[in-house]
């Protein structure tokens, strides 16, 4: 008696902004080959759905053991990424083209690693499959430093970015406090709609009254005059003031603070000058309060630093990759991997589950109002209980000649 | 027969911009107590000469063993810093006040850790001591991320900043290359007059034609049109272009590129908008070439990151502290500790010596012209042979709750 052996081909794509651990998830997916003998091949879309539609695909089984290990600690997106939105209209020829290609490549499972928009892609493709009777299974795996996906305790990528933010804000504070002069330092942190990452700056404080003394999230309206008053007051008892802001802070009309800088500004060449929110605050404080001001935009380093990644985040990203394969093997098409914190345990522990991707794709999980304190200028200690487990442990990439060693595909002409 | 035991008191100050390892030098100084029984006390000026003149001094022997160990991996400046220039006129009452205080505090040796300007202070004070017959010995210990001090192979602080720059530029490149769209990323690196730190971006390349493809130092005139032509040409064969620039790049008339942004620009509040050189290039490339552009200013994180410090740099900073005490014990007043690379050894090795501080105080060591290649847009491989030994090894601070643990003095009102 012979049991029929299934032969399954998996296609993986990465989409949206890169993180320190999106490749750790890819590593996790590759690791499942050893437990699922029915997995025949694991392929990668180059530059997500957009590249795949143009025919870009690689065979990931060609990666050596050593290369796979490097994936675990390589930032960016090994497969390349895209920001491509599938059309709302399912009669668009793009859908037929996509499924023709998948059929031609004998793909059974599509795993898509990404954020909000990528989950929209998974929702549309799994829905199309259902309607057309295709057996191809589509599973989403979360990834975003913004931590703004619903239905999951947190997202892979957030822990590492949060650790980078907290650690570097602490070090910027150490730097900012060396002089006796009155000075203000503004640190601008990523997060256009959600303040999760900026809130991590709270963990930078070494003691209760330590810097950063003011933290502003996009979940709260920002009032320039109130901020100036607060800074003026704080400068009476401190020499160095450090303020952390989300890039997406806005006034009560919803106007972004960063837009207030660029509207009329031009450089000597007549070019429009686009400045960030930090720069706008810097100029305002300098002119209104007459103190030394510096603004620091943490910029892409906060999402690209594998050197300062959280070990917990790396291992959870790996586990999400594994869970993605498990969900697909069980046939949960149109689902996304989720992480659930087991509340009644003494030690922090995560249970990996799945949720309908439509519960995630068009929603944003804002930073909870209950954790915003002091009239929108501070974060509660309860948030720290949530955050601290996510930034535990270090994950150093292998070093070569004093620098981190990564796996990479050489750039091609687009 | 009884030999007279000397009783010596040492006073240490930190001055100028903070680095990742200026406290490692302080650690080295404290460690000398165990080999010199004649050292009675080691004191610290709070906020350098400026604070000391106001009476701010602490007893460093009160630091526990554990606190001393933390100093070794704490960024910023534990003692606080200042930017204070001693008057040229030695009849100024400041000099008499300074020496009265030193005499009152029974100080025999003053160690001043700093860069160019701090060495000017050492030069003036040692000269004044010589002229007035004071036996107080003044020794300078180098510190600057700029690496622009003469008479020394390199300066403590440079290796760690260079490692941070090379490592993070490499990671920014990984991040920048994920999309298929034509895009330019500009990374602005510290160094107003000397390009040493920006040159370290050369080490970020993983293979010869890799990003960053253009590197601009302040030692070479910057021509906007030539840069635009180079970028236009490079975009024909690459999707993502990464450019590294020193903050101090300037045109052939010596006008800083960063000044070209701010001259006429104001925000909606009417405040003058000061933008960095990276922002000016960003706006110019966006409008002239019509591609996606992002600029990243590494800012203070490059000098404040103890988490990404070079182990070699930390240990050399410690050794410079020890050598500073040695020079002072031998009576070399008016000297600065120097580092000499022993050229005929197979392995990298440093010999610690001393030089007259006047050889250093009013000079800047520019990045050598011989190492600037491709018409001022690249750096030679010979520079890498110089740089790579300085960034070897990692020096991780102790971690607590997922974040680096540091020693600090709480801020006081100035």
Q: ipTM for the complex?
A: 0.95
Pairing type for strands B240-246 and A109-114 reads unpaired
Query: Rounded CA gap, A399 and A99, in Å?
Result: 42
Residue ranges, comma separated, of all CATH 3.40.50.460 domains in chain B are 160-304
Instruction: Give the one of A174, A267, A272 whose C-beta lies nearest to B75's C-beta.
Output: A174
Residue ranges, comma separated, of all CATH 3.40.50.450 domains in chain B are 8-157+306-364+392-404
- What local confidence, expressed as pLDDT, does residue B362 receive? 81
Average pLDDT over residues B191-199: 96
Contact (Cβ atoms closer than 8 angstroms) between residue A169 and residue A212 = yes
Q: With a threshold of 0.90, does the pTM exceed it?
A: yes
Q: Which three-class secondary structure state does DSSP give residue A300?
A: coil
Please enumerate in sequence order all residues whose Cβ is within 8 A of that of B102, keeping only pairs 6 or more positions apart, or say none. Answer: B11, B110, B136
The model's confidence at residue A264, banded by pLDDT at 50, 70 and 90, is very low
Q: Tell me, which fold does domain B160-304 have in CATH?
A: Rossmann fold (3.40.50)
Residue ranges, comma separated, of all CATH 3.40.50.450 domains in chain A are 8-157+305-362+392-404
What part of A 49-68 touches B (C-beta under 8 Å)?
50-51
Nearest CA to CA, how far is B284 from chain A (Å)? 7
- What local confidence, expressed as pLDDT, does residue B258 receive? 87
- What local confidence, expressed as pLDDT, does residue B264 receive? 46
Tokens 């972004």 found at: A256
Q: Are B272 and A279 inside 8 Å of each other by CB?
A: no
A275 contacts in chain B (CB < 8 Å)? 267, 273, 275, 279
CA atoms within 13 A on the CB side of A149: 34
Q: Which of A180, A202, A263, A269 would best serve as a mutation to test chain B binding (most B beta carbons within 10 A)?
A: A180
The pLDDT of residue B230 is above 70: yes
The model's confidence at residue B3, banded by pLDDT at 50, 70 and 90, is low
B300 contacts in chain A (CB < 8 Å)? 172, 175-176, 185, 294, 296
Instruction: Give the one of B175, B303, B403 whose C-beta lies nearest to A18's C-beta.
Output: B175
B410 contacts in chain A (CB < 8 Å)? 207
Which one of the listed residues B117, B146, B148, B230 is annotated catalytic? Answer: B146
Please enumerate in sequence order all residues whose Cβ is within 8 A of that of A234, keeping only pairs 6 or more positions apart, or say none. Answer: A213, A214, A241
Residue B305's Cα: distance from chain center in Å? 12
Query: Rounded CA gap, B261 and B131, in Å?
Result: 49
Flag the least confident range among A223-232, A271-280, B210-219.
A271-280
CATH of segment(s) A159-303: 3.40.50.460
Percent of chain B whose pLDDT exceeds 90 = 90
Q: Which of B179, B275, B296, B306 would best serve as a mutation to test chain A binding (most A beta carbons within 10 A)?
A: B179
Instruction: Give the one of B170, B179, B297 whose C-beta lies nearest to A297's C-beta.
Output: B297
Nearest CA to CA, how far is A3 from chain B (Å)? 43
Average pLDDT over residues B122-149: 97
Contact (Cβ atoms closer than 8 angstroms) between residue B40 and residue A173 = no
Q: Are A239 and B411 inside 8 Å of each other by CB?
A: yes
Q: Are B76 and A174 inside 8 Å of each other by CB?
A: yes
Percent of chain A whose pLDDT exceeds 70 = 94
Query: Rounded CA gap, A299 and B296, in Å?
Result: 6
Q: For residue B405, what are its two tokens?
A: 């643990």
Nearest CA to CA, how far is A384 from chain B (Å)? 10
Q: Are A283 and B273 inside 8 Å of each other by CB?
A: yes
Q: For residue A282, what are its two tokens?
A: 């810097």
Query: Rounded CA gap, A158 and A182, in Å?
Result: 34
- What local confidence, expressed as pLDDT, does residue B357 receive? 97
| A146 counts as catalytic | yes
The model's confidence at residue A271, banded by pLDDT at 50, 70 and 90, is low
B347 CB within 8 Å of a chain A CB: no
Query: Rounded CA gap, A15 and A363, in Å?
Result: 17
Give the chain B residue whose CA is nearest to the CA of A411.
B238
Architecture category of domain B8-157+306-364+392-404 in CATH: 3-Layer(aba) Sandwich (3.40)
Q: Which of A145, A175, A242 would best serve as a mutation to test chain B binding (most B beta carbons within 10 A)?
A: A175
The pLDDT of residue A77 is above 50: yes
- What local confidence, expressed as pLDDT, does residue A366 receive? 97
Flag the least confident range among A257-266, A352-361, B270-279.
A257-266
Nearest CA to CA, how far is B7 from chain A (Å)? 31
Q: Which CATH class is domain A8-157+305-362+392-404?
A: alpha beta
The pLDDT of residue A186 is above 70: yes
The pLDDT of residue B295 is above 80: yes
Instruction: Give the one of B272, B286, B305 whose C-beta lies nearest to A283's C-beta.
Output: B272
- What local confidence, expressed as pLDDT, does residue A414 receive? 42
- What local confidence, expressed as pLDDT, does residue A343 receive? 86
């Amino acid at each position: 008696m012979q049991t029929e052996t299934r032969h399954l081909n998996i296609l993986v794509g990465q989409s949206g902004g890169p993180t320190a651990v999106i490749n750790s998830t890819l590593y996790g997916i590759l690791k499942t080959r050893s437990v699922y003998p029915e997995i025949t091949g694991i392929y990668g879309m180059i530059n997500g759905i957009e590249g795949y539609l143009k025919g870009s695909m690689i065979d990931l089984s060609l990666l050596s053991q050593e290369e796979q290990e490097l994936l675990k600690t390589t930032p960016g997106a090994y497969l390349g990424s895209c920001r491509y939105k599938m059309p709302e209209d399912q009669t668009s020829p793009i859908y037929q083209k996509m499924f023709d290609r998948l059929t031609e490549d004998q793909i059974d499972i599509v795993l898509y690693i990404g954020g909000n928009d990528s989950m929209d892609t998974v929702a549309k493709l799994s829905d199309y499959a259902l309607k057309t009777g295709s057996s191809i299974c589509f599973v989403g795996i979360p990834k975003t430093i913004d931590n703004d996906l619903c239905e999951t305790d947190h997202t892979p990528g957030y822990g590492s970015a949060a650790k980078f933010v907290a650690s570097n804000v602490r070090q910027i504070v150490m730097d900012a406090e060396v002089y006796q002069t009155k000075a203000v330092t503004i640190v601008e942190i990523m997060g256009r709609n959600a303040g999760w990452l900026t809130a991590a700056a709270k963990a930078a404080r070494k003691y209760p009254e330590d810097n950063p003394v003011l933290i502003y999230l996009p979940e709260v309206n920002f009032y320039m005059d109130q901020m100036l008053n607060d800074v003026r007051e704080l400068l009476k008892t401190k020499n160095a003031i450090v303020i952390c802001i989300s890039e997406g802070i806005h006034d009560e009309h919803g106007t972004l603070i960063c837009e207030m800088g660029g509207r009329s500004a031009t450089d000597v060449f007549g070019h429009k000058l686009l400045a960030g929110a930090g720069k706008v605050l810097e100029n305002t404080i300098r002119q209104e309060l007459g103190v030394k001001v510096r603004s620091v935009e943490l910029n892409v380093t906060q999402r690209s630093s594998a050197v300062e990644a959280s070990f917990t985040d790396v291992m959870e990203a790996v586990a999400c990759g594994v869970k993605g394969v498990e969900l697909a093997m069980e046939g949960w098409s149109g689902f996304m991997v989720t992480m659930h914190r087991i509340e009644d345990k003494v030690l922090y522990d995560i249970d990996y589950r799945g949720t309908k991707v439509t519960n995630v794709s068009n929603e944003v999980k804002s930073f909870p109002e209950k954790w915003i304190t002091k009239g929108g200028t501070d974060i509660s200690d309860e948030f720290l209980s949530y955050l601290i487990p996510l930034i535990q442990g270090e994950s150093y990439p292998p070093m070569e000649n004093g620098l981190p060693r990564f796996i990479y595909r050489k750039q091609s002409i687009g």
